[in-house]
Amino acid sequence: MKILLATYFGLPHVGGINTYVEFLRAELERRGHAVDVLHRGYMESDPTDWHWLRSDGRITDDHWSRHYVEDHLPACDPWIRQHALRRYGFEIAARHLGIADYDVIHTQDSVAARAIARVLPTGVGLVATLHGSMAADLAAWGLLSTASQAYRYITAEERAGIAAAHRVLVPSRWAAGRMAFLTGAKERSMEVLYYGIDREKFLRQARQAADLPDAPEGLPLLLCPARLDPVKGHRYLLEAVALLQAAGRKVHLWIAGPGPAAKLEEQAQRLGIAASVSLLGSRDDVPQLMRRADAIVLPSIEDSLPYAVIEAQVAGKPIVASRAGGIPEMIEHGATGLLARPGDSKDLAAQVGLLFADSRLRAQIGERAAAFAVDAWDKDRHLSRLEAAYGAAQQAAGPRPLRDLHAAVFDPGAWPASLPQDYVVPDAQYLVFCGFGARGPSVIPWTRQQTTQHPAQPNQVFVSIPGAWSPKAGGGSGRNHQ
């Protein structure tokens, strides 16, 4: 098969989606498939760039959509408008890359599923893996209120993405229930497919030499491999370390992950444990860090199926994690790890203390976790089930009439892509949330008849709207290969 892995989010980065995409690409190619990856740049200065990994091509959603929407769309929540622009850019970038040539497109989030579904060609299967909820994440980060119009918009978009895919996969039973609760989608429409991992590759890397940070001799060494995100619960881990220290049980903590560290540094200073905590930032040697650590700690408030747990079990390391999200599906308390109540620093400290009070328990948990990982995270079983989902999605993909793409600022002769006949910008969801109904006056299908040139300005391209002219500069294709 020819497969496109697509995500609305940025790659590469330290996180579950990145780990999963890298795993899939390598393993699917090993099994004879051709695999490309479409993604956004990560932490770039221009967040509208789209990247196609195999060719290093870059597509931008810059002037064409931004000018069009600013000139023609009614006033709407600024956050919604900006998000819609970026999704439209994703859709055009995907079509520009020739997605009709793929057998299956496998999206890694509900926004990408929604976007790809709007431009999906005839006969191409659409599989969506939902690693988490964008709406829930934005609320957890404090970027959106759950009472806001923007939050409702994203929730509706996620629901539309779930409904549009031919097959919907989730990494845990908890994730299925969570997405159903947040979006109103039917839980039975989602198939649970636990992640897989290349155990041999991970263990080989763990044995490789690495320039590891210093750690005090004679103290238990804890590692928390998680991005610095409030949902990962680092603040509770620091409180737990302070409680352990106050009880006379000193440990040293490594925190490995990207993100703003200032608040955690201030908290460590305030708690008097700054000398016991090392914030390592983003690392590419997590397997080696795990090998050096005595135990892994993951105090997440919410997590679908964290790779940190999978990797700790593969490494045979004892782990203390929160009884949150899908983690209880991964860890049997007292057998393959220890579980603490999420957001409870005292319980977290108690579980870490229990682990280091009993060396035999530590060894048993590590051994059982390693044995459990062999079967639980078997890569071949995961890939076989995924290939079955690809085949089912391809069979479910029906015909979809296309028309030529002639958008507002594109030279009709320079843009070879095509779009479904029902493709419009803005889409109905945008107009509904802006209070104009599903087919308000601003829904303007992009057709050749509506693209023309002003007779007095032959180098400019326009969209014909009753009662108005809208000049746009250039007529370029929008391509920006760098």
Higher model confidence: residue 310 or residue 41? Answer: 310
Highest-pLDDT range among 156-160, 335-339, 447-451: 335-339
Report helix, strand or coil for 197: strand
Q: For 265-318, what is the HEC assignment?
A: HHHHHHHCCHHHEEEEECCCCHHHHHHHCCEEEECCCCCCCCHHHHHHHHCCCC
- Its pTM stands at 0.83
Cα–Cα distance between 201 and 429 in angstroms, integer? 44
Which DSSP helix (H) or strand (E) runs through 127?
A: strand 125-129
Mean pLDDT, rounded, for 400-429: 52
**Cβ distance 230 to 220 under 8 Å?**
no
**Cβ distance 295 to 318 under 8 Å?**
yes
Q: For residue 442, give Cα distances in angstroms to 421, 424, 438, 453, 467.
A: 17, 10, 10, 21, 13
- The ranges assigned to domains in the chain are 2-196+384-407, 210-376
DSSP class of residue 155?
Answer: H
Average per-residue pLDDT in the chain?
81
> What pLDDT is stored for residue 185 in this prediction?
86
Cα–Cα distance between 472 and 21 in angstroms, integer? 38
**Cβ distance 197 to 177 under 8 Å?**
no
Looking at domain 210-376, its CATH class is alpha beta
Mean pLDDT, rounded, for 351-365: 95
Q: Is CATH 3.40.50.1820 what the domain over 2-196+384-407 is classified as, yes or no? A: no
The separation between CA 396 and the C-alpha centre of its own chain, rounded to angstroms, equals 25
Q: At residue 482, does pLDDT exceed 60?
A: no
**Cβ distance 438 to 77 under 8 Å?**
no
Selection from 454, 463, 457, 459 nearest residue 474 by Cα: 459
> Residue 380's CB: how many other CB atoms inside 10 A?
10
The separation between CA 481 and the C-alpha centre of its own chain, rounded to angstroms, equals 24
Higher model confidence: residue 282 or residue 450? Answer: 282
Cα–Cα distance between 418 and 154 in angstroms, integer? 27
* pLDDT tens-digit series, residues 78-105: 888 888 878 887 887 787 777 888 999 9
> What pLDDT is stored for residue 310 in this prediction?
97
DSSP letter string over 350-365? HHHHHHHH-HHHHHHH
> What pLDDT is stored for residue 71 in this prediction?
58
- CA atoms in the 13 A half-sphere facing the CB of 323: 12
Cα–Cα distance between 260 and 200 in angstroms, integer? 33
> What pLDDT is stored for residue 430 in this prediction?
74
For residue 178 the two structure tokens come to: 């969570």
Higher model confidence: residue 232 or residue 122? Answer: 232
Q: For residue 383, give Cα distances in angstroms to 373, 379, 388, 473.
A: 16, 6, 9, 48
Per-residue exposure over 48-81, b if at least 16 CB sit within 10 Å of its own CB, e if not? bbbbbbeeebebbbeebbbbbbeebbeebeebbb
For residue 163 the two structure tokens come to: 């409904």
Name the pLDDT band for 49 (thresholds 50, 70, 90): low
* pLDDT tens-digit series, residues 428-460: 777 777 766 544 433 333 333 333 333 333 333
Q: Do the bridges between strand 34-40 and strand 319-322 make them parallel or antiparallel, or are there none, so unpaired?
A: unpaired
Burial of 148 (0-12, 13-18, 19+ CB in 10 A): middle
Cα–Cα distance between 317 and 372 in angstroms, integer? 12
DSSP letter string over 10-40? ESS-SSHHHHHHHHHHHHHHHTT-EEEEEEE
- Domains 2-196+384-407 and 210-376 equal at CATH topology level: yes
Higher model confidence: residue 183 or residue 74? Answer: 183
User: The dihedral of CA 175, 180, 181, 183: what is its sign?
Assistant: positive
